[in-house]
Amino acid sequence: MAGMSGISGKVVAVTGASSGIGAATARLLAERGAAVVLGARRIERLDQVVQEIRDDGGLAVGCGVDVTRRLDSRRLVAAAVAAFGRLDVLVSNAGISKIGPMADLDVDGWEAMIDVNLRGVLYGIAAALPVFRRQGRGHLVTTVSTAGLKIVPTQAVYAATKNAVRTLLEGLRQESTDGVVRTTAVSPGFVRTELADSIDNPEVREQIVRSRDAFAISPDAVARAIAFAIEQPDDVEIGDITIRPAVQG
């Protein structure tokens, strides 16, 4: 029963919510009784997901968000508070993967990953923390990656952005032992999403797409892991979840 769940009645904002892990998470949480606020750049896709959730009887609103713009994160948090009176959880899920050998010297790609994967998470934290402090509780759930746990060629800068986020979440966790703010880092391995579409190097993209099509898990699996972290009682913090295909090396 939804009423028994630690998710029912919570207000959750999700970035990167127009597809992949973000859309799957928003759908699952709404199904379990949360009010969801979806943020993404692709407004048409976003509106579609919001409409699907509403058609299924869920509570959802959409908000155009580019996480590289500080004000957009503030707008997302404000939209949650305006629509539902509070914000319980921010799922910072927007991410891009401009991977390739460092010798490609894709400095624009490096900067884009830093802007979305790191700066975007920081902007989300900056927007949500004051609301969490005011309410006396809140939960930051951030999509990291197994790329930071096992360093491989072509993913040096991508992994670096993910490990920067891992580090800042651990620092924030230690600053938040008053029990007001919980932090959870979710590190997915290969998941069937559109992340590979952001890879410019054709050989690397083809290789990633091959692996993805061969053994990637569904975004729904990651959504269930995120839901598990969110539904815990307030005094329980799930710090890290690593979730990957059972056959991933």
Active site residues: 158
SS3 call for 91: strand
178 token code pair: 């008053």
Q: Which residues pair with 188 in a beta bridge?
A: 243
**CB within 8 Å of 195: residues ≥ 6 apart:** 20, 95, 96, 97
Give the span between the Cα atoms of 69 and 119, in whole angstroms: 9
Residues 112, 94, 70, 34: what is their CA dihedral angle, to the nearest 10 degrees?
A: 180
Task: Output the six-digit token pair for 60.
Answer: 């959802």
Q: How far apart are CA 46 and CA 18, in angstroms?
A: 4
